[in-house]
Amino acid sequence: MGRILISGLLVYDSGKTWLGVSLARRLVSQGVSVGVFKPVAGHDAWRQYPTIVESFNRGILIGEDVVKYASVIGDTALEWMNPIDILLAPPDPLSYLGTNIYTYLNDLENQFRQIVLARVSFCSKNSTQHFIFRDNLKRVAPSIRRELELLTEKLGASEESLESFIRRLRDGGIEDELMECLRRVEEGRDIVIIESFNNAVTPFRRVLDTINALIVVAPGAVAVYYNNIGDVLKAVDEAAIRYGERGLESVHLLSRVSPSATLHLKPRMSTDEYDDSIEQLVNLLLSIR
């Protein structure tokens, strides 16, 4: 069993899912049984509108990244693959016209002002809960707010304050649930690809103790850690002590620990297009014991 963690250097568009899907596709083509674990996922109701339709049809809040993975490895239990999903929707710009337009730009930078729906799946209980955050929903443009209301009804989402939801995610027991989902995902698999979120080096601290390799991706390149995971753990913990939650950002690791290997990635039209750099990375991962 191998656990491969993919992290991003940038807050947005590092290429984590593009790389993860590419690796999964290549590994599957070589007869390797692959599991995927994306503990926390976020998607945008406006920029990724098809996820609204997908979620309505499936009866579970789900983002496009998880659907992409499922299309490669098989449509397994998506709630195990992705236990926590968060849907954002931008506020209505017309409601800010005038002097408040500056506030609109500030709100676009604040994800907490845009979270409208969320899902938490508990693998130990085989249960799922959906939540609606109406204070944020009421700021969304009417054209999409109605569709979000319909999705809320379809999912049977419960009203909850965003503050209460954030406390729920920070509860110590949530890591136990995430680890249980990871155990279910990896049953019968040769390799599990774990994807972090935004620019966090790890989706949650405990999983970092269990990985065989860490890949930090940025546009055009990857840094791979595998024979110095102990140094990685030490650097991450030291950065967390010094900077708090921001210490978990991948940039701190890259500034402290040299990777075991680096590779340049090539631009491609799609994830199923052959790329010898992906081939090299796959061979490297398969050689790690």
Residue 161, pLDDT > 80, answer yes
Average pLDDT of span 23-30: 94
Are residues 95 and 72 in contact, defined by beta-carbon separation less than 8 angstroms? Answer: no
Q: How are beta strands 261-264 and 221-225 bridged, if at all?
A: antiparallel
In this prediction, residue 221 carries a pLDDT of: 96
- The maximal CA–CA distance of the chain, rounded, in angstroms, is 60
In the chain, where are the structural domains located? 1-33+190-289, 39-175
Terminal CA-CA length for the chain: 9
In this predicted structure, what is the pLDDT of residue 75? Answer: 64
pTM: 0.93
Residue 165: predicted pLDDT: 93
Q: What is the pLDDT of residues 7-17, one digit of tens each?
A: 999 998 999 99
Residues 257 and 235: their CA atoms lie apart, in Å, by 7
Q: From edge to edge, which strands make up the β-sheet containing 84-88?
A: 40-44, 84-88, 115-122, 127-132, 158-159
Q: Is the pLDDT of residue 268 over 90?
A: no
Of 171 and 103, which is predicted with more confidence?
103
Coil vs helix vs strand at 192: strand
User: Which pLDDT does position 92 carry in this prediction?
Assistant: 94
Per-residue confidence (pLDDT) for residue 271, from 0 to 100: 82
* Domain 1-33+190-289 annotated CATH 1.10.3470: no
Encode pLDDT of 57-100 as tens digits.
999 999 999 999 999 998 678 999 999 999 999 999 999 998 78
CA distances from 165 to 116, 138, 197, 205 (A): 11, 18, 18, 20
Q: Is the pLDDT of residue 155 over 70?
A: yes
The Cα–Cα gap between 37 and 196 comes to 9
pLDDT of 289 higher than 70? no
Strands of the 191-195 sheet, one edge to the other:
34-37, 191-195, 2-8, 213-218, 221-225, 261-264
The answer on pLDDT for 1 being more than 60 is no
Cβ pair 182, 203 in contact under 8 A: no
Q: Parallel, antiparallel, or unpaired for β 84-88 and 40-44?
A: parallel
